[in-house]
Structure 1
Amino acid sequence: MQSIERAFDLLELMADAGGEVALSELAETSGLPLPTIHRIMRTLVSSGYARQQPSRRYSLGPRLIRLGETASRSLGSWARPYLAELTEATGETSNMAVLDGDQVVYVAQVPSQHSMRMFTEVGRRVDAHATAVGKAVLADLAADSVAQLLERSGMRAQTERTITSVGAMQDELARIREQGYAVDDGEREVGVRCYAVALPGAPAGAAISISGPEGRMTRMSTDTLVPLMQRLAEKLAAELRTASHGA
């Protein structure tokens, strides 16, 4: 059991580092002896869960893709009833996304019935700094972890409103923690506004969101919207925690 736990810990450390590390980096961050890490990584490579690059550095392996896709489908099936309730109450498109490496990936969506509505493909990966779901998840992380992630991702400007500095993002995340929700105010796509709340205590960093054209979304009252989203996020997070503990 200890070897299994260590293997998963090393995979998590690789993901936290952006998906590629050297043995010396794993030794420094994990505190495990180099021979132990080398033995575990050799096993992960032989089974396809890790790869060794020509540079001798290790990266996450292709077999993790199938596991991730299956996990995403499972998360989507849990999330859809809650997203459906959110869309029914607001009339706008609702989503769930999870942090995967340095980006967020959308795992479920219930679309609006409006002819003009927002649509994001399930499985699409986007930069965390320019999305409400990403910022909601980042607000739950330690400041040093956020800084490292943002420095790796580069914080590319996607519109003129995109936050592109680590310091400004840290200030934004402090506001999100204080108010309990995140806003994407045309930061990823001009004319689009999105609200998101994190799933408290979920097994993986995740958030749900509601998005639509800026004109409709600005007329929406956050006094009623945010408590609804927080209630649904808490119920979904509790279900995910129960499923995780049951496994």
Structure 2
Amino acid sequence: MAERTAGSGVQSVERVFELLELITAAGGQVMLSELAASTELPLPTIHRLLRTLVAKGYIRQLANRRYALGPGLIRLGTAASKQLGALAGAQLRALVDQLGETANMAVLDADMALYIAQAPSKHSMRMFTEVGRRAHTHATGVGKAILAQLSDDAVRAIVARAGMPTPTTMSIGSVNDLLADLARIRERGYSIDDGEQEIGVRCFAMAVPDAPTPTAVSVSGPVSRVDDAFAELAIPALRAAVESISQDLNPVA
């Protein structure tokens, strides 16, 4: 019979996910000693679980003896992202119908913003970000809405690993400037990309509450249409959309 906790969860499964989450939080690679210091699990238990994960391809042991996330997780993550994007499709289309501009959904994946769903604008001049594209978090509306959900220390670690390229003269180029912008985002509840990824394009984005991974939804278009009047309509529309997506992700039992 499977070992169970007091809360009726399968203990070995909970321990596996604890290790995977610790490795993910460490940037995808970790030493055994770091895992041992970060969990109350006995060392023999950590060894046993890691051996199982390595055998299944979900973890790799590198030449330097560090443990890294394995390729087996890519297949699971890709399928999960597609399902998450499909779930949000109706809300993204509703945003386009209401606002007339392209709506996107992105998640945090390997320190980057990964676009997993899109409803395109009907305008001939529109933003052309395709599903499957990865972008630096500090230079996109969805990316900054994602980062604003994290602690400042986690943000520093992400940009240290991923770097802070500046696609345009409007892009944020320093950690301190980014943290200041994230503080404003947390206060007002949404992010703005004003030509930071592409000159002439403005984007409003908002985090999806209680998503299983940091997630955000955005509406983007040329600055000639995405102006202050547009923002007055977009912010409440985005808020309704992300709240609806959150409810779909977390149905009441």
1:219, distance to aligned residue in structure 2 (A)? 5.2
- Structure 2 distance, partners of 1:170, 1:33, is 37
- Structure 2 distance, partners of 1:221, 1:124, is 26
Which residues of 2 match residues 1-247 of structure 1 at below 5 A? 1-218=10-227, 220-242=229-251
**Alpha-carbon deviations, 1:81-130, whole Å to 9, x = none?**
00000011111110011112311111100001111111222121111111
- Structure 2 distance, partners of 1:17, 1:191, is 36
Larger Rg: 2
Letter in 1 for 2:72: R
Partner residue of 2:4? none
Segments of 5+ residues of structure 2 without an aligned counterpart are 1-9
* CA root-mean-square deviation: 1.5
**Alpha-carbon deviations, 1:47-70, whole Å to 9, x = none?**
010111111111111111111111
1:30, distance to aligned residue in structure 2 (A)? 2.7
**Alpha-carbon deviations, 1:169-198, whole Å to 9, x = none?**
111011001111101111112221111000
TM-score (norm 2): 0.91
Segments of 5+ residues of structure 1 without an aligned counterpart are none
- The aligned length equals 244
- Structure 2 distance, partners of 1:133, 1:106, is 9
Greater per-residue helix proportion: 1
- Structure 2 distance, partners of 1:172, 1:32, is 38
Percentage of identical aligned residues: 53
